[in-house]
Chains A and B, each alone.
Chain A
Amino acid sequence: MSGSVVGKLDAAIVEHLSAPRGRSLWQDAFLRLRHNRAAMVAGTVLGTIVLAALIVPLISSYNYYTPQWALLDTAPTLHGGHIFGTDDLGRDLLVRVMWGCRISLMIGIVASLVSVIIGVTWGAVAGYVGGSIDSLMMRVVDILYAVPFIPFVIVLVVLFGRNIFLMFVAIGVVSWLDIARIVRGQTLSLRNKEFIEAARAAGVRGPSIVFRHLVPNLLGIVIIYATLTVPSVILFEAFLSFLGLGVQAPMTSLGVLVSDGAGELQSYPYLLLIPAAFLALIVYCLNFLGDGLCEALDPKDR
């Protein structure tokens, strides 16, 4: 009995070894990404920051909101527990910066997700359906392109309260236009391919074709774009925080920390430089990672 199992296994191994091993698009891309030193360094740095942001607030003996009146604006030091120093209310800057990274990354990722979901759906439907619906949907995108979006988000945030959730939505809703255009273009070139034809011949319905067959094939370009949207959203959040419209105290974000620090640059430069360095590092790394993914997934460079 055991002999037959071994026999089956052997057969499987032989088959496995003799079959030509094809590499999928994703394996291919991953291999190429691994050879891109800038992207790998960026990815590692980013991973480290994310890990630190998740772990440090858990193990630190300080929290982000309790003032320590005896320790206002102490400079960074290796002894005494406040490695990054404390802010103008005596709160530990390390913990606050890590919380800032958490919140900024979260805003960046959620807002990018919102814009990706809207953009991909809009673009894929327009490209797949085609005809007058396509031109109508793209007209809408053209018109929205001309909407001055910084003022609109400011108005939205000012008028409808300053909660984080609204900020995700507001930023996500205004930044889906590029993704919609790109996805539509890709869909147009995909929709006459044989596999779509086959799906249609097999009786698959329109919505299933769009989401089961088209969208997975657009994933590469969508991932590239999402990676590049996250840093721009993080910067935009920082911009809103600078205008006093961002995350509300005592909760913090990198944008809040940086704009608070900018006011005290002359007397306490570390209050600006440390959070600014984290902000710049995250944005820098995401941009490099996006460029690396772009090269890795772009079939033109093969």
Chain B
Amino acid sequence: MHPDPERELIGYATGALPEPERERVAAHLSACATCRRTVEESRAVLDGLAGGATAPPLDWGRYQAELRARRQARGRSRWWARPLPALVAAGVATAGLVLALQGLHRPGDLAPADESALGARLPLLQQYRVVERLDLLEDLDAIRHLDGVGGAR
């Protein structure tokens, strides 16, 4: 049976085959003129390409100057553009946004000014019986109308 030309013969021709396969293909080649010719022609092609092609000449001073200009135009990548810092920065920004949104949507909270005004009126509030029946001062509407209650007393 002939070796697979796409895997074994080209591997043999380029010296890429590992030892057990290489020996098996070599044994086959000693007895098969067709495969031997394929290997020889492949080697002839690869030898003919050896040394590579020569590109048209280039002004290397100009090349480096252009590269420097392109580099300066784009600038070095910012540290925050790198994967890990970018992830951390995104996480911090998201957490900040969530906290800010939570702060905006707390309807039960009082503004600092309202809290200080209530605190100033606490001694007055303690004079009213109705306050004793309020559940932890939750009924703000009732508190706001205490002045009227007091006037009616």
Note whether A and B form a binding pair: no
Task: Tell me the A residues contacting B by CB distance below 8 Å.
Answer: none
